[in-house]
Structure 1
Amino acid sequence: MRKILFFVLLNYFAFGQDKRIDSLKNELKSKTDTESKVDLYEKIITLYWTESIDSAFSYTNRLKKLSLEKKHLNGIIISEIYTAVNYEAIDKMDISDSIFKKIINKIPSDEFKLKGIYYYNYGNHLFYKHQLQEAILEYEKAINNYKKINDDKTIARIKLNLGYLYANQNNFFKSTLLYEETIPILQKHKDWLGLSAVYGRIGVNFGSLSMNEKAIEYHKKGLSIDRKYNLMENEAYTLANIATEYAELKHYKLSKEYYNLAIDKFRILKSDNNLLINRLQLALIKYKEGNFDDALKDLRKIATHKNNKMPLSYYHLYANLMANSGNFKEAKIHFETSLDILQKDQNKTGEKDLIYDYLHFRLKKNNDKELLHLLEKYDSIERKINSDENKMYFTNWNTKYQTAEKEDQIKSQQLELEKEKTNRNVAISSIGFLLLLSGGGFLFFKNHQQQKELQNQNTLLSLQHSLNAMELQSLNKQLDPHEIKNLLAFISPEIQEKAPESYKNMLKLFNITKASLNSHSLTESIKTQINQIEDFLSLEKSMLSEPLEYSIENKIENEDVQIPRLMLKNLVENAIKHGIKGKENGGKIKVKLLEKDNFIFISIDDSGKGRNQNILSDSGIGTSTYQKLFTTLNQKNKENAIFEITDKEQGTKVEVKIPKDYKYS
């Protein structure tokens, strides 16, 4: 049986609420101005969402009454937003929907905070309704408005929600990047609970990718914060998460130790539901160890507690135990109960795992050994595919991580340079008269300092160059040419005979992928890249549902001139992906290359949607890689290369100017 449950992290704002609410209520009594009262009401309502929805309703009504009496527009709108949230909390989604849709037109265009509050809460509303893409758009709008008032703490909260949303879509790479973006903000505000929660969520992402050791590493980062700042509730969740990861690694002894530590904490916190879940997890470990009788005893003991509302994991585990003991009738009832819970929650990943277990149970019941073997083989293949995908996620994440490390190293070098300059200036000003008396000594000192500064600058350039090369290499390795080459070699004879046109397209695809085989060079010839984009554009034109026209005008005489590898193909692909694709009437791409005054001029001009229409950009490395690469290399070349992007009324134009004798190393 697979991992049934991953603990949901504690609500980010739910720790120690009672004292905070009492403190805010006392402050509210002492205030006389409307603005302060509106602000305090807002804080009290948001805290009551995790404590008492009736109290949230009550304080929302008080806020509305005050705001109407004082004609305070912001207070009126906030009370309406929070009324919608309150109805959402009691599952009256239709009423909540109706209120949300009426609010947006009431908010003045220059009230950025109000708009941020609206989009943030409406994004949460859509998330709960499982309208995930729409929720992403609302969160992005909220972030844009909070940026205008420099509210980075609220932006961090929204990114936490976005990260959780992407994790629910199994986009763990993007989710982890969003979580990492919040870390410096939370550190700046000394928000230790939030920081621990972020480490926990990153850990959950790695665990979901079966990278359990990496998951434990992040959970333990969170655990050290929990213990340092006495965050007992979060510590209990973190301990349970670590236990779950050890169970996945089949380190059952360690797993039980951490579950028991978590149970001790939840007992102190009087958290009955979490006590139940952790006891279920201990029963699950006994099941995994093959102690079916002990696991069943534990489950039956848990079921005797009348106050316990059984979670999904209870029914799923009970079903598996019944199936293993041969009680197929009882197993069927509990499988169906589990499936009903998962379908109501729209938990697709859990539903998939449960269906696998259910199929396994039915085949075992019917003693169908052949199909059982095929099902297990299918499961093994799927796990292998997922494992390969995990490696890709890890490579992407690790590239970003190494990039961040190198950027920190560069900043450190820059700080050292500034420090040395400051120290030198102080030294020069304090012994200036001595330098006037000993000109030779001064010249020696100045020369020595210049050499040292030049040495530091070269180190800095080297770091930046390796950083840019690493990013470019990551960009170019998005294709997997070896696998494609092997596949094409296998199927090409049959395709050539039965579908000659498809065979031609296949050769074009292969020509495109060949470039990725040479992974050691930073550059390649213009001739090679022209051939790549001719094949690429031809294939895209035949595949795209939107009309695509293109032209390639090459006036370069010496086509052996080197430019960054795959640059033309990546720029053309960007033009299609972000410009032409999704535009109803399609568009045109014009590629021009010419030479003039010892320079190569390249332009990629598209008539697509333009960058402003692409709200959600990719998280990968793209045009910025080439901009940073040229910025760094320009410091080593006599004449500069230029990389510019222009947003037109219709479409985007990229222009690159590179000296013919440009040095890339």
Structure 2
Amino acid sequence: MLKVNTNTISTKNNEFIPANTSIMNTGRKNLYWISQFCGWSLFVLVNLVIISNYESVPVERIFVWIILGLIGISVTHILRAVIRKNAWLDLPLKKIIPRILIASLISGIIIYSLTTSFSILLGAFRSEEYKWISSVAGIINLSGISLVWSLIYFSLHYLESYQKAEIESLIWESAVKDFEIKTLKAQLNPHFMFNAMNSIRALIEEDPENAKVAVTKLSNILRYSLKIERTETVTLEDEVKTIKDYLDLEKIRFEERLRYRLNISADSYNVEIPPMMIQTLVENAIKHGISKRTDGGEVDLITKVETGKLLVQIRNTGHLNSQQLRSSDGFGIANTKHRLSLLFGEEASFSIKNENESTVLCEITIPIGGIKR
């Protein structure tokens, strides 16, 4: 079962919500009210500055502008409640536009009407001073401000929704990646253990002393197998130790039919690689190459570091026909490519080919420190 840390996220209505939802909601509410206050205060201040450049502004009219700001905050807050209650944010754009235009016009009329009423009550203006042309202009102006407010509100919501979707996508991508890697490991371990146990079974009756050696080497491999269940990468040094134990087990089984060489550069020992990946390819080299030849053959493992990348070469006696080269089944090719892609993306590479008529060459390139998190 795929599990996600519930201390980090939970799901509700198909949205990812932080576990500390109450804290975040409080923060969003505070930010909303601060934005409301600052936005309308800026609108009032700019208008007062502009007016003061042409005429003196009585205290009564300053109060009127302050009241206008407070009314603007109240009306747009009600508009926000209408938007949320009627789920306008979930509507398609062609349905949102007419609703917002009408709501902005109504908001402008309400703000203008209430402000006008208060200004008359305060004596800042007389009713006969209001002309229908100036009233229409005032309504259009305030409706435009309400429209700008709506555009900002919708834009911020869509931006937040986009960011949530991105976070959700990244979380699930990471979870699926972890799940796939663990699944691939589970596929590898039974295959490896089956061959290892076959090697020991063949030795128990024929050569008890060598069987004891094989058991010791198998215990090392089992210990390594338990270790890799808790990590997505291991050092090349640890992998090579396991490969040597495996090859020694197979050497006891194949005797002189199997010859191997390990040429590991000193600067490659600490490079991080997917566990059991190289070992599986070595195992396949024996299974599909050496074991099919009556005279056996050789397996060479070479590693070196070049231009910030680890180059791994596995060369074995054998030959793959065109069908085998195209097929991913049975040769560890699919798993290897998939694991490299999950961990390193396009920076890693894998290839297998016939180097000549009697030699198969497998090459892997892994970026040093290039794991995709």
| TM-score computed with the length of structure 1 as normaliser | 0.29
Report 1 or 2 for greater relative contact order, CA contacts < 8 Å, sequence distance ≥ 6: 2
Greater helix content: 1
Find the structure with the greater CA-based Rg.
2
Greater strand content: 2
